Amino acid sequence: MLEKLKGIEKRFLELEKLLSSPEIVSDRNAFQRFSKEHAELSNIVAVLRVYEQTLADLEDSLELLKDGDPEIKALARDEVDALTEQKTGLEGELKQLLLPRDPNDDKNVIVEIRAGTGGEEAGLFAGDLFRMYNRYAESRNWKVEAMSHHATGVGGFKEVIAMIHGKGAYSRFKFESGTHRVQRVPTTETQGRIHTSAVTVAVLPEAEDVELHIDPRELKIDVFRATGPGGQSVNTTDSAVRITHLPTNLVVTCQDEKSQLKNKNKAMKVLRARLLDNMIKEQNEKRSQERKNQIGTGDRSGRIRTYNFPQGRVTDHRVGLTLYKLEEIMQGNINEIIDELTTFYQARALQNAESVDAA
């Protein structure tokens, strides 16, 4: 581990020289690229330097244990205990910092929410989840851009797609992918019976042009008039856009904007994100099970969380976390759940990395 850390520190020092070079400063793209790499390595180097100082202090304290003065030996023993504990903690932190980082973590994110089983109640809960994510994004000063939605007519959504703009958005939302189950008494229920409904959530990192080339010849673009609930026309021009990616048969429709160009641009963003997501999944399937576990994006097809309204309880089934804070959580206070999931998947990745090293 130390050898790897020394290599990182060497690269960090090289980057500091590059960033002070007039040639690099004048090249905007190169300067941004090296600045980003420098920032990513700075945390590791800062912890490494504290670790190296701790090792030096520990060595000095171990020498003092040989002193003939009983008082000095007692003080040295206390120092050795404290520094040994600090050394162990720093080693754990460094191991975690050396874990492979998800390259998508800093990206904007596209969140797709769809009503599943449960009819109108599922649609209403899809709306509740959308508002929960909106409030969470607002609490972090992130911008939410509606991409597309299909309302149910009773205040819910059959489907709603939104892009969340903010550094680190994907890292905080990526564990939300999967089936969210709700247990509550619907407003239409006259006998007070609890119904169980489901909503699916897909979380996709925004795809940049450099990552994914889409041949315009592989796209079929249709335009039509936007419609509202019940099929009635909501405008008099062909502003709605449907894009079909012919090689994969992926279809994206956007009709929220009055401008055909704006709808086309939004539809292309969603299409890019879905294609990138498919590409990432294909790459992951080719890797070993250990590598898949390190990424730890969760099982999209499985039930990941249950929201029980009568008991005011939320349970995340992946980590066995149960919180009796349903009202707070539905208001967007989901940091505790996300932190627990992040810690869980980091610990799993660390365990897998140590197993690979041992082998």
Each residue's pLDDT, cut to its tens digit, for the chain (359 residues) gives 778 888 888 988 999 999 998 998 888 888 888 888 898 888 889 988 999 999 999 998 898 888 778 888 888 899 999 999 999 888 888 877 777 777 888 889 999 999 988 888 899 999 999 999 999 999 999 999 888 888 887 778 999 989 999 988 999 999 999 999 999 988 766 677 888 999 999 998 887 655 577 888 888 988 887 766 544 555 556 788 898 999 889 898 888 888 888 888 888 888 888 888 887 777 666 543 433 333 333 333 468 999 999 999 999 999 999 999 999 999 999 999 999 998 888 888 777 766 655 55
Is position 332 within any domain? yes
Same domain, 230 and 269: yes
Same domain, 88 and 119: no
Query: Which pTM does this prediction carry?
Result: 0.64
pLDDT of residue 296: 35
pLDDT of residue 183: 93
Q: What total of structural domains would you count in the chain? A: 2
Same domain, 157 and 223: yes
Is position 64 within any domain? yes
Is position 53 within any domain? yes
pLDDT of residue 315: 96
pLDDT of residue 275: 87
Q: Where does a domain end: 97, 129, 152?
A: 97
pLDDT of residue 285: 67
Is position 88 within any domain? yes
Domain of residue 86, CATH code: 1.20.58
Same domain, 207 and 297: yes
Which residues are registered as beta bridge partners of 111? 162, 203
pLDDT of residue 227: 67
Q: Where does a domain end: 47, 73, 97?
A: 97
Same domain, 121 and 222: yes
pLDDT of residue 240: 87
Same domain, 67 and 181: no
Is position 357 within any domain? no
Domain of residue 311, CATH code: 3.30.70.1660
Is position 355 within any domain? no
Same domain, 178 and 91: no
Q: Where does a domain end: 97, 131, 150?
A: 97
Is position 44 within any domain? yes
Same domain, 118 and 87: no
Domain holding 285, by residue range, is 109-347
pLDDT of residue 301: 45
Same domain, 146 and 66: no
Same domain, 15 and 74: yes
Same domain, 228 and 151: yes
List b or e across 83-109, with b for residues whose CB sees 16 or more CB atoms inside 10 angstroms. Answer: beebeeebeebbeebeeeebebebbbb
Is position 353 within any domain? no
Same domain, 41 and 183: no
